Chains A and B, each alone.
Chain A
Amino acid sequence: MKNIIAEALDAAAIAGATYADARVVETREQELSVRTGRVDAIGSSESLGLGIRVIADGAWGFAATADMSGDGIGTAAREAVALARAAATSLREPVRLAPVDAYRDTWNGPCEIDPFTVPVDDKLAILLAADEALRAEAAVRVSAARMAFLGVHKMFGSSEGSLIEQSYTESQAGIVAYAIGEGEMLPRSYPNSHGGQAVQGGWEAVLALDIAGHAPRVGEQAAALLSADSCPSETTTVIIDGSQVALQVHESIGHPTELDRVLGDEAAFAGTSWVGLEDLGTLKYGSEKVTVTADATVPGSLGSFGWDDEGVPAQRDFLIRDGILTGFQSSRESALTIGRTSNGCMRADGWNRQPLVRMTTISLEPGTWGFDELVADTDDGIYVETNNSWSIDDRRLNFQFACEIGWEIKGGKLGRMIKNPNYTGITPEFWGSCDAVCSPKHWQVWGIPNCGKGEPMQVAHVAHGAAPARFRNVRMGVGR
């Protein structure tokens, strides 16, 4: 890898680049899924390639190739410079980068048991057992259990002297039961929806989830949902479980505080932001209970690394402190617009993509409440768990989330089960209504390995620390 990077940087310089960085990324993946008793997929893949990013004539160019021969590397470097020069024909201001030290170092993510060495039979045994247990209830007509593993080995080098080698392993597992009846199909998942929980770590992380052990409860809840009452249409108090709070943070705090969105660079696709540069340090984003960090140093999180994909060290930074906006997620280029250096949020989803500002671990910091204590403190409301559907506008203001399951809260106690609970709101009003966040005992990091952004589309693996939290005056049961 080191030689390929040196060759790429040399070729870019000869072609006329005033700055260049190169990334060689090697990945291997394995996915196994079982659905309603049938093995749906056993697949593996590998990929190796080179991405070269340059500045020439003051503009960015990026070219990627899987051809790692000398000719392939040289062609890609020259193409990157040609692309930059074509982009420069519409230049407003030459690209400038906030300074960063040159690093020559390595970083490895946590992994106790390499999941790629675990026999397929062992993995299938867990998946098949979990899948079968989900279907103990007759109403569960479709069940699914899935595991996925990713191994990444990559090297970054820049014309400023950095040479950084990083490796990490990701593991994911989850189950879902679908109860089907009377024109409804209702999912219930564990430990999270949309594929389960994902972490940086190895086979030990999958074993710790015990998906087969949780399957009977998940199946029972799915079946019970069919006869549960529908979510009432009302404005009420809602307590949201940690996994859904994580997604709420993702959509309504994570994305709008990406500095490239604030600056308009993602306008045509993902959208812009309701937050402006002028809001930094003054905007009341939420209540004083709301403190949010961007932290790429959380052990075992999908959002962690040693250095981002432009060689900036991993950092912990505050985005919101006691409800006030205090920071953005930034790159070397965008950080200059707020007079700061980068807080290290540039990542690409592979060798063939130019890095973008991406979330790291964006977390709602824990509060002080016990969960039981929080429910007991709530006279009237609804408790909801596990995302089922999500939607938010292009400025990240108006959102609507549906969850898999809910329970009525009456007189400080959880009561009847509720199906299809959904809620809607406006970002600052919603976070402004947050009056309680549960304690570190209830706080955990939730992996989100499917965050789409950019053109060409990139899918980032990000994470959010969250605990159950309470919100007042929330509109629920929309369209019911």
Chain B
Amino acid sequence: MRLSLEDARTLADRAAHVTPADAAEAVVTSSASALTRFAGNRIHQNVAESDTHLSIRAVLGTRTGVASTNRLDDDALVRCAAAAVEAARHAPEDPDFPGLPEAQPVSVADRVNPATLGYDADRRAEAARAIIGQSEARGLTAAGTVAVNDYAVAIASTQGVDAAMEAGDLRATVLSMGGHGGNGWASFLGADAASFAPAALGGRAARTAERSEDPVSLEPGGYTVVLAPEAVADIVDFLGYVGFSGKAFAEGGSFLCDALGTSIMDGRISIYDDALAPGTVGISFDYEGQPKHRTPLIEGGVAVGPVTDSYYAHRLSLPNTGHALPAPNPYGPIALNLEMAAGDASVEDMVASVERGIYVTRFHYVNVEDPMKVVLTGMTRDGTFLIEDGQLTSAVRNQRFTQGALEALSHVRSVGAQRSLIGPGEGGATLVPALLLERWEFTGETG
């Protein structure tokens, strides 16, 4: 069981106001989550947890300290508050600290859905069996998850902040594996489980697995690629991680530095952060209780600006876009609900337009080698196909790529009309279309 929304709100308000400091902020997250995991066509893990986490940021002048606990008795609350104050007492003065932000009106998205909350252990097991059944019927092996999150977040401060919301989401994944190197992948993420169709999801992965059996080798080099949304999400997430943060921008480590107002990508690329978008997941205000809005980051290929929290908004003399993470936050403000604007192409049209290229279902283990140019390396996985004369022909072995994301996004042939929500759930998600890119550098393949 998690705390009710009102109990979370009451706890946050109480914690902020019992803290013996010049100002204080409290963040309460209370969650009940469950995950059914399957592999080898059987459920092998079935887990559930409930926990409540209280974090207090104490302010003494321009000094701040943070303490947190998952104990909710009075003694623990007082101890947590005292620890936050003690930490602040030892912190040096920070002349850039603007003080805790004042209360602002926030939009609270409706992300509590009975269909999602109804996914108990029996429903999750039923869904897992339906997914597995699609692989099993084809002589394949399925692995994946059906997971449900149900949580409440409340933020209160001595500056009048009182933001709270509850939300839930369901995430399901399936990897279907054949006996001759064929793999297929499908996933679902949404606040409303009513649109989750387990058998259809399992069928999609299984069909890809069947089609990707007996993959062939590929010569390394530059290829035209059709990237399915899961692969595009990895690229966009890395742009957010290394480039869109106000902290990276302030430090001179972002590709946005010295580029605002200039074209850095193809004109068909527009990227926003929008925690209020219909169908997305996560909370619709930030962890300082400040409002989130639809925040343009790249518009028509032109760099617009980074995301900020109260600290970096002050330091950069920019508006606060509402992207604070819970304090203490070494990452700076982060965009948690990135989205790429849709285009007008179907994936079928994209493939049909390629004389010779590669279709990528998703990437695996992507990492950044050069943060300023966003040079990424990683592998393809779970359905990589050769495109010849406008058609998917043979499956190819998983390929390693080493590619500058900015460079690739500067040569876009078309953008998909349909978008998919990809991501881990509670922390937000990425809403992206498929992309047809002129060139993507493959530098090796798996053995």
Restricting to A34-80, which residues have a CB under 8 Å from any CB of B?
A: 35-36, 38-49, 59-67, 75, 79-80
Q: B65: shortest Cβ distance to chain A, in Å? A: 5
Tell me whether B179 is interfacial, beta carbon within 8 Å: no
The total number of A-B Cβ pairs within 8 Å is 258
Partner of A47, one of B70, B122, B128, B371: B70
Assembly CA distance A180 to B38 (angstroms)? 46
Contact A62 B377 (CB under 8 A): no
B 314-335 to A, binary, CB cutoff 8 A, 1 in contact else 0: 0000000000000111100000
Contact A265 B365 (CB under 8 A): no
Interface segment out of the listed B107-115, B169-177, B265-273, B287-295: B169-177
- Assuming A47-B69, A394-B398, A398-B400, is B125 touching A479 (CB within 8 A)? no
Tell me whether B124 is interfacial, beta carbon within 8 Å: yes
Contact A38 B372 (CB under 8 A): no
Interface segment out of the listed B14-22, B41-49, B196-204, B225-233: B41-49
Main secondary structure of the interface of B (DSSP, over half): strand
Contact A265 B44 (CB under 8 A): yes
Contact A66 B70 (CB under 8 A): yes
Contact B173 A268 (CB under 8 A): yes
Tell me whether A160 is interfacial, beta carbon within 8 Å: no
Tell me whether B132 is interfacial, beta carbon within 8 Å: yes
Chain A residues within 8 Å of B391, by CB: none
Contact A124 B92 (CB under 8 A): yes
Tell me whether B364 is interfacial, beta carbon within 8 Å: yes
Chain A residues within 8 Å of B74, by CB: none
A 442-456 to B, binary, CB cutoff 8 A, 1 in contact else 0: 000000000000011
Chain B residues within 8 Å of A90, by CB: 38, 41-43, 125, 128-129, 132
Contact B444 A43 (CB under 8 A): no
Chain B residues within 8 Å of A402, by CB: 369, 377
Assembly CA distance A124 to B265 (angstroms)? 42
Interface segment out of the listed A199-207, A284-292, A315-323, A419-427: A419-427
Contact B370 A424 (CB under 8 A): no
Q: Which residue of A lies closest to B43 (CB)?
A: A87
Assembly CA distance A402 to B372 (angstroms)? 15
A 171-191 to B, binary, CB cutoff 8 A, 1 in contact else 0: 000000010100111000000
B 295-329 to A, binary, CB cutoff 8 A, 1 in contact else 0: 00000000000000000000000000000000111
- Known pairs A120-B90, A395-B446; list 10 more (Cβ under 8 Å): A38-B94, A42-B90, A43-B67, A84-B46, A86-B46, A90-B125, A265-B143, A267-B175, A391-B378, A456-B35
Q: Which residues of B contact A (CB under 8 A)?
A: 1, 33-52, 55, 64-71, 76, 80, 83, 86-88, 90-92, 94, 96, 121-122, 124-125, 128-129, 132, 141, 143-145, 147, 173-175, 177, 251-253, 327-330, 364-373, 375, 377-379, 381, 398, 400, 402-403, 441, 443-447
Q: Which residues of A contact B (CB under 8 A)?
A: 31, 33, 35-36, 38-49, 59-67, 75, 79-80, 82-84, 86-87, 89-92, 119-121, 124, 128, 141-142, 178, 180, 183-185, 263-269, 271, 274, 352-354, 388-395, 397-398, 400, 402, 420, 422, 424, 426-429, 455-456, 475, 478-479
